[in-house]
């Protein structure tokens, strides 16, 4: 489902919590963005300090006029953002991107999250539970110190199974390994590393189960202008360019921008490259 036109709003940083080594949850007060935010949407932040392109981060929780961002430090922009003092004012564009679709009440949903790919799922889980959708979740990471978000999800009432590649917490194996032991749901939602999502889509296809994934790519502009985050999609799907074939063109795929046409795609529409 497409989102409303994004807003430009100056948000106030109201909380900053280290939740694991290198992982942060930062809260911002921004009434209009919080009111519009939906699962899998993100904001593009103009981090104060040395000039850089805006920092895109997925929206984690929303409460009243506040929203939070769950992220891992992985570069200078995230490090600077994590170090901002409380009360700092940050320019935000958002909410950006589309959102997950919701099944009918009484359906069974399975959420599969890998690492920081948990970020879209607090809002989704809240919506699913409010609709009366039976919801279960698999949350995985390489090791237990990289498992984040579990407490907040449990507080929502989400049945949660933890998985670690090294067996240091919960199920010993990947989210995909754990998925194979789950009963067949009506719909699967996923977000995480590309290899995980590719395997998730293959499993959904084999089981003939509807599946939607929120994709992670490196954004440049976050607004669809630079075409730096394209993925291959099925020609004719609603999120591709829709450009007509060039003379003598033989490719059977189209392109979509994760930031502007996603981040959510149907597993049936994503064409994975080798």
Residue 50: its pLDDT value, please?
84
Residue 162: its pLDDT value, please?
97
Query: b/e string for 210-226 if b means 16 or more Cβ within 10 A?
Result: bbbbbbbbebbbbbbee
The answer on 209 and 118 residing in a single domain is: yes
The answer on 200 and 222 residing in a single domain is: no
Residue 273: its pLDDT value, please?
83
φ, ψ of residue 270 to 5 degrees: the values are: -85, 130
101 within a domain of the structure (yes/no): no
Percent of the chain with pLDDT over 70: 99
φ, ψ of residue 149 to 5 degrees: the values are: 90, -5
Q: What is the CATH number of the domain that holds 138?
A: 3.40.50.80
The answer on 200 and 242 residing in a single domain is: no
d(CA 114, CA 125): 16
Q: Write down the residue that tokens 């935010």 correspond to.
A: 37
The 3-state secondary structure of 172-196, one letter per residue: ECCHHHHHCCCCCCCEEEEECCHHH
Reply yes or no on whether the pLDDT at 119 is more than 50: yes
On whether the pTM is more than 0.85, the answer is: yes
Q: Write down the residue that tokens 């807003």 correspond to.
A: 7
d(CA 25, CA 149): 9
Q: Which of 167, 198, 216 is the last residue of a domain?
A: 216
Dmax over CA atoms of the chain, in Å, equals: 58
Reply yes or no on whether the pLDDT at 150 is more than 60: yes
The answer on 77 and 116 residing in a single domain is: no
Per residue in 39-72, pLDDT tens? 999 999 999 888 889 999 999 999 999 999 999 9
* Helices assigned H by DSSP within the chain: 31-36, 76-82, 121-131, 150-156, 175-179, 194-207, 258-261
Contact yes or no for 179/110 (Cβ under 8 A): yes
Instruction: Name all contacts of 49-55 with Cβ < 8 Å and 24+ positions apart.
Output: 49/80, 50/76, 50/80, 52/76, 52/77, 53/220, 53/221, 53/222, 54/93, 54/221, 54/222, 55/81
Tally the domains of the chain. Answer: 3
Reply yes or no on whether the pLDDT at 2 is more than 70: no
Mention every residue, 6+ apart, whose C-beta is less than 8 A from residue 68.
15, 25, 26, 27, 28, 59, 60, 61, 62
Q: What is the CATH number of the domain that holds 34?
A: 2.40.30.10
Q: What is the mean pLDDT of residues 21-35?
A: 96
Residue 274: its pLDDT value, please?
62
Q: What is the mean pLDDT of residues 259-263?
A: 95
The answer on 154 and 72 residing in a single domain is: no
Q: Is 236 helix (H, G, I), strand (E, B) or coil?
A: coil
d(CA 220, CA 270): 21
Q: What is the mean pLDDT of residues 180-191?
A: 96
Residue 1: its pLDDT value, please?
46
Q: Which of 74, 96, 118 is the last residue of a domain?
A: 96
Residue 217: its pLDDT value, please?
85
Reply yes or no on whether the pLDDT at 35 is more than 50: yes
102 within a domain of the structure (yes/no): no
The answer on 44 and 130 residing in a single domain is: no
The answer on 226 and 212 residing in a single domain is: no
Q: What is the mean pLDDT of residues 6-17?
A: 94
Q: What is the mean pLDDT of residues 193-217?
A: 95
89 within a domain of the structure (yes/no): yes
Domain of residue 125, residue span: 108-216
Flag the least confident range among 54-63, 110-119, 184-193, 249-258: 249-258
Reply yes or no on whether the pLDDT at 3 is more than 70: no
Residue 132: its pLDDT value, please?
96
């Amino acid at each position: 489902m497409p989102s409303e036109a994004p807003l430009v709003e100056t948000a106030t940083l109201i909380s900053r919590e280290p939740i694991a080594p290198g992982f942060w949850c930062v809260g911002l007060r921004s009434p209009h963005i919080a009111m519009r935010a939906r699962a899998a949407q993100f904001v593009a932040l103009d981090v104060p300090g040395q000039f850089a392109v805006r920092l895109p981060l997925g929206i984690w929780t929303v409460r009243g006029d506040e929203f939070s961002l769950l992220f891992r430090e992985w570069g200078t922009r995230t490090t600077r953002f994590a170090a901002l003092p409380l009360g700092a004012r940050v320019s935000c564009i958002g909410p950006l991107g589309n959102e997950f679709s919701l099944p009918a009440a009484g359906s069974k949903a399975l959420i599969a999250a890998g690492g920081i790919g948990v970020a879209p799922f607090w809002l989704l889980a809240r919506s699913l539970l409010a609709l009366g959708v039976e919801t279960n979740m698999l949350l995985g990471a390489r090791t237990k110190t990289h498992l984040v978000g579990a407490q907040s999800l449990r507080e929502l009432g989400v049945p949660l199974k933890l998985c670690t590649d090294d067996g240091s917490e919960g199920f010993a194996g990947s989210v995909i390994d754990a998925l194979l032991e789950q009963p067949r749901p009506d719909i699967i939602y996923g977000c995480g590393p590309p290899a995980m999502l590719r395997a998730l889509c293959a499993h959904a296809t084999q089981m003939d189960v509807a599946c939607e994934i929120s994709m992670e790519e490196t954004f440049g502009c976050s607004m669809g202008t630079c075409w730096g985050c394209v993925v291959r999609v099925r020609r004719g799907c609603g999120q591709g360019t829709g450009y007509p074939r060039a003379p003598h063109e033989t490719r059977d795929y189209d392109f979509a921008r994760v930031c502007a046409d996603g981040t959510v795609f149907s597993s049936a529409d994503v064409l994975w490259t080798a």
